[in-house]
Amino acid sequence: MDKSNLNRHQRRRLRTREKLKQATFELLLENGYEQLSVQAITERADLGRGTFYLHFKDREDVVWTLVEDAIQATDRQARDAYARSKPEDTLQTLFLNVFQHVDQHRNLYRILLGSRGSAVTSTKIQHYLVEEFKRDSRDFGLTFEIPEIPLELYLQILVGAVVRLAHWWLETPNDLTPEKLTSMIVKVFSCH
């Protein structure tokens, strides 16, 4: 966002929103989702509860905003990669983008996808990925289909596997890079 065109009130509002998001992120890392509360967020940000509700509906809303910010930060890179990739490299490009994104935001996803996270947020992430892959399929002609398996079913299976693998990757000590992980999961999904 170009802040130079914002007036003083808009800049202050943006700073306040960022303070709330930063406080939420810090508390998620320290205590997990279950211990996160609006009270704790506002105390950490040194702001009032009323101020919180001017920016967010509830704790789930601010947590989802953190996820959306992380996704949008890398979405442009992913779309550029799709535009440059060959049709036969669709799955590899897709998985590599997802795992690079998760790797760049390890701390956030370790909490959100792990036992200290929120089932609601995890479900929203999965739904978001399904919709994103549908959009990429349409916009870039990416093919995910297997004959006789509807696209929706295929994407549900694909996303479920990706999210579960990302959770395992973040929680289990290993030396797997996004590239190594991508190579292995492409082999699994190419065996049809």
Q: What is the mean pLDDT of the chain?
A: 87
Residue ranges per structural domain of the chain: 1-56, 57-189
What pLDDT is stored for residue 78 in this prediction? 72
What pLDDT is stored for residue 76 in this prediction? 72
pLDDT greater than 70 at residue 144? no
Report d(CA 24, CA 144) in Å as an integer: 36
Rounded mean pLDDT, 114-138: 86
Tokens of 42: 């506002």
pLDDT greater than 70 at residue 46? yes
What pLDDT is stored for residue 88 in this prediction? 66
- Would you tell me which CATH number, out of the four given (3.40.120.10, 1.10.10.60, 1.10.1840.10, 3.40.1180.10), belongs to the domain 1-56? 1.10.10.60
Higher pLDDT, 189 or 11: 11
Report d(CA 13, CA 97) in Å as an integer: 33
Rounded mean pLDDT, 99-116: 89
Domain 57-189: assigned CATH number: 1.10.357
Report d(CA 134, CA 130) in Å as an integer: 6
Rounded mean pLDDT, 82-92: 72
Phi, psi values for residue 146, rounded to 5°: -120, 135
What pLDDT is stored for residue 117 in this prediction? 83
Rounded mean pLDDT, 164-182: 93
- Taking the alpha carbons of 55, 61, 63, 69 in that order, is the dihedral positive or negative? negative
pLDDT-based confidence at 57, cuts 50/70/90? very high
What pLDDT is stored for residue 62 in this prediction? 96
